[in-house]
Amino acid sequence: MNELQSRTEMSPRHKTVLIVEDEILIRLLLAEELASAGFQVIQAANADEALRVLESSVTVDLMFSDIRMPGTMDGLGLAERVRSTWPGIKIALTSGHLPELPAGAPADLFIPKPYQPARIGAALHDLLGSGTNDLN
């Protein structure tokens, strides 16, 4: 079968995670782990790339973003924007500089760095209610 499956047509049981992380080595490691955990993974290097993806026809179920990033917007600004524009997207934030989220920060989950990439998959599945039992 040679049918093009656009992301919007992918099996709904495979959730799509948008990773926003400016450090390439962290990003690629995380992408590999989350793909192994059964997610469709999209990689963005900064908030601008993340917004480009979000504004396209690509379906995103969850955004996992670093807070401190260079560019026009950091992770908190990006989270605010996602929450107001795309309220259905779950948001997980991570930071190596903050021990916890600032009060009122728009996120469903906070994961401090350093984290074990292998354990992020389970945490994100929990957040989405999409454990491996749901994947067939």
- Contact residues toward other proteins (CB under 8 A) are 2-4, 6-7, 24-25, 28, 31, 42-46, 49, 52-53, 55-58
Beta bridge partner(s), residue 113: none
Of 87 and 129, CB closest to other proteins? 87
Min dist CB 27 to other proteins, Å, is 8
Q: In whole angstroms, what is the distance from residue 34 CA to residue 14 CA?
A: 11
Of 58 and 101, CB closest to other proteins? 58
Among 118, 124, 8, 128, CA closest to 64: 124
Beta bridge partner(s), residue 136: none
Of 36 and 131, CB closest to other proteins? 36
Among 115, 135, 108, CA closest to 15: 135
| Strand, helix or coil for residue 36 | helix
Of 2 and 136, CB closest to other proteins? 2
Min dist CB 67 to other proteins, Å, is 19
Min dist CB 32 to other proteins, Å, is 9
H-helix segments, 66-116: 75-85
Sign of CA dihedral 71, 33, 88, 7: positive
